[in-house]
C-alpha cells in the first residue's frame, strides 16, 4: 500500500538508468533489478547512511503515501511530511486509546490496527487534523494489515486473520475470521489468496475468495517464526523472528517454493524487497540490506546497526524509512557506490 513520489529518486539511480538503458513502466523497483543485472562481480558495497530522524519514542510500523509517512506508536498514529527527507516535519497525530502495530493508507483514509484487538478507520485527508471515522473492537491484538477492495485483512495475535468490510468507513463490520484463530503478525493478499505470517505455524496460504470463509490451504515448510511479509512480483519475502529471512517463489500462490534464506542473528520484524535487494528491519541488529539478485544465495551487502530496535521499514530501493523503538522514525539512504 505504498506509493513513492518521483522526487525521491536519487541521482545515483539516474546514472544507473542511463548506463543500463530504459526499463520504465513498472515502477522504481524494477530499475534496481535491471541495474543489478547489468553488472558483473560484486554489486554492492556497504552504503547505508543516516539522513534524518524524528524522535517519536517507540514506533512499530509505517506506511508511505505521497509525501507523507504514517507512523504507528504507543498512542496510535503520527503523520510526518517527508517531502524533504533530510528534514521530516510533524503534521498531525491521532490517539486511538492504545498502541497501533499496523497501518495502511488509501485515498485519504488510514486503517489502523489496535493493540486491544480491533480496527480503527481514520480520515487523514487533512493531515494536520486526522479524525476517527469508525472502529471495530473485538479483542485480541491487531498487528499488520492489508487493504484490498472493500475489505481490510488484519493479522491478529489471537484471532489469526480477520476480514473486515470497510465499505462504510464509519461502520466497519467483521465478515470473516480464520477458524481456530492463530498468531497472525502480517498479511499480504494476492487475488483469492492471502499469505499470513504466523510465528507458530509459519507462512499460511489462506483461500479468501469468500471473505466470509477464509480457509487455510497449506503452511509453507521452513517458515516457522514468520513475522513479516513483503511481496514483489512472483516472490514473497518472509522475515522470520530470530531465524533470518526467506525468499519464496509464489508463481503458484497455493504452492509456494523456498528459494533461499539468510540468517546472521537479529529478529527480522520488517522486510521490503525488489528484484535485487532485500531490506530488513532486524530489531537489535538495526537495518540490513541483502543482495538477492541470486534468490538462492542471499548475501549481506550493507548494514546500519545504529537503527537500534528496528521494527519495520518501507523503501523504494534507495530511501529507507524505518520505525524503531530506539529513536522513533528514521530515514536512511542506500547508495551502493559509497
Tell me the window of 10-18, 36-44, 135-143, 223-231 that interacts with Ca ion (CB under 5 A): 135-143
Tell me the window of 57-65, 91-99, 164-172, 256-264 that interacts with Ca ion (CB under 5 A): 256-264
Burial of 69 (0-12, 13-18, 19+ CB in 10 A): buried
Tell me the window of 25-33, 106-114, 134-142, 208-216 that interacts with Ca ion (CB under 5 A): 134-142
Q: How far is the CB of 37 from Ca ion (least distance, A)?
A: 26
Q: Is 327 in the site for Ca ion (CB under 5 A)?
A: no
**90 or 300: whose CB is closer to Ca ion?**
300
Q: Is 317 in the site for Ca ion (CB under 5 A)?
A: no
> Residue 32 is inside which H or E element, if any?
helix 28-37
Binding residues with Ca ion: total (CB under 5 A)? 10
**63 or 154: whose CB is closer to Ca ion?**
154
Q: Is 137 in the site for Ca ion (CB under 5 A)?
A: no
For residue 88, the SS3 value is coil
Residues 227 and 242: their CA atoms lie apart, in Å, by 10
Among 46, 123, 138, 207, binds Ca ion (CB under 5 A): 138
Residue written as grid cell 536519487: 10
Among 285, 291, 316, 327, binds Ca ion (CB under 5 A): 285
**65 or 287: whose CB is closer to Ca ion?**
287
Q: Are 57 and 299 in contact (CB under 8 A)?
A: no
Other Cβ atoms closer than 10 A to 149? 10
CA max distance for the chain: 55
Q: Is 88 in the site for Ca ion (CB under 5 A)?
A: no
Contacts of 140 (CB under 8 A, 6+ apart): 117, 156, 157, 158, 159, 162, 181
Local structure of residue 182 (DSSP, 8 states): B
Angle at 322 between CA 245 and CA 185, to 5 degrees: 50
Q: Is 156 in the site for Ca ion (CB under 5 A)?
A: yes
Q: Is 267 in the site for Ca ion (CB under 5 A)?
A: no
Instruction: Write out the residues near Ca ion by the rule CB under 5 A.
Output: 117, 138, 140, 156, 159, 264-266, 282, 285
Amino acid at each position: 500500500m505504498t506509493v513513492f513520489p518521483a522526487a525521491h529518486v536519487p541521482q545515483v539511480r539516474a546514472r544507473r538508468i542511463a548506463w543500463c538503458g530504459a526499463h520504465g513502466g513498472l515502477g522504481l523497483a524494477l530499475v534496481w533489478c535491471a541495474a543489478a543485472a547489468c553488472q558483473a562481480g560484486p554489486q554492492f558495497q556497504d552504503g547505508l547512511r543516516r539522513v534524518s530522524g524524528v524522535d517519536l519514542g517507540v514506533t512499530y510500523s509505517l506506511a508511505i503515501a505521497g509525501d507523507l509517512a504514517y507512523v504507528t506508536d504507543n498512542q496510535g498514529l503520527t503523520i510526518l511530511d517527508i517531502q524533504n527527507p533530510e528534514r521530516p516535519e510533524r503534521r498531525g497525530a491521532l490517539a486511538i486509546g492504545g498502541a497501533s502495530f499496523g497501518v495502511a493508507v488509501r485515498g485519504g483514509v488510514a486503517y489502523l490496527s489496535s493493540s486491544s484487538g480491533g480496527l480503527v478507520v481514520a480520515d487523514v485527508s487533512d493531515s494536520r487534523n486526522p479524525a476517527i471515522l469508525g472502529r471495530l473492537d473485538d479483542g485480541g491484538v491487531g498487528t499488520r494489515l492489508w487493504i484490498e477492495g472493500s475489505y481490510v485483512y488484519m493479522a491478529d495475535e489471537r484471532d489469526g486473520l480477520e476480514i473486515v468490510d470497510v465499505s462504510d468507513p464509519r461502520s466497519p463490520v467483521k465478515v470473516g475470521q480464520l477458524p481456530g484463530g492463530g498468531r497472525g503478525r502480517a498479511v499480504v493478499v494476492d487475488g483469492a489468496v492471502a499469505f499470513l505470517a504466523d510465528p507458530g505455524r509459519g507462512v499460511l496460504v489462506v483461500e479468501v475468495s469468500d471473505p466470509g470463509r477464509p480457509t487455510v490451504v497449506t503452511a509453507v515448510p521452513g517458515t516457522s517464526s514468520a513475522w513479516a511479509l513483503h511481496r514483489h512480483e512472483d516472490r514473497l519475502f518472509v522475515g522470520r523472528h530470530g531465524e533470518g529471512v526467506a525468499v519464496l517463489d509464489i508463481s503458484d500462490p497455493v504452492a509456494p517454493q523456498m528459494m533461499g534464506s539468510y540468517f546472521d542473528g537479529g529478529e527480522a520484524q520488517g522486510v521490503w524487497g525488489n528484484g535485487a535487494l532485500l531490506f530488513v528491519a532486524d530489531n537489535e541488529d538495526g537495518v540490513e540490506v541483502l543482495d538477492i539478485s541470486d534468490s538462492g544465495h542471499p548475501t549481506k551487502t550493507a548494514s546500519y546497526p545504529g537503527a537500534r530496535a528496528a521494527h519495520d521499514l518501507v523503501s523504494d530501493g534507495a530511501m529507507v524509512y524505518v520505525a524503531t523503538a530506539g529513536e522513533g522514525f528514521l530515514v536512511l539512504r542506500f547508495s551502493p557506490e559509497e
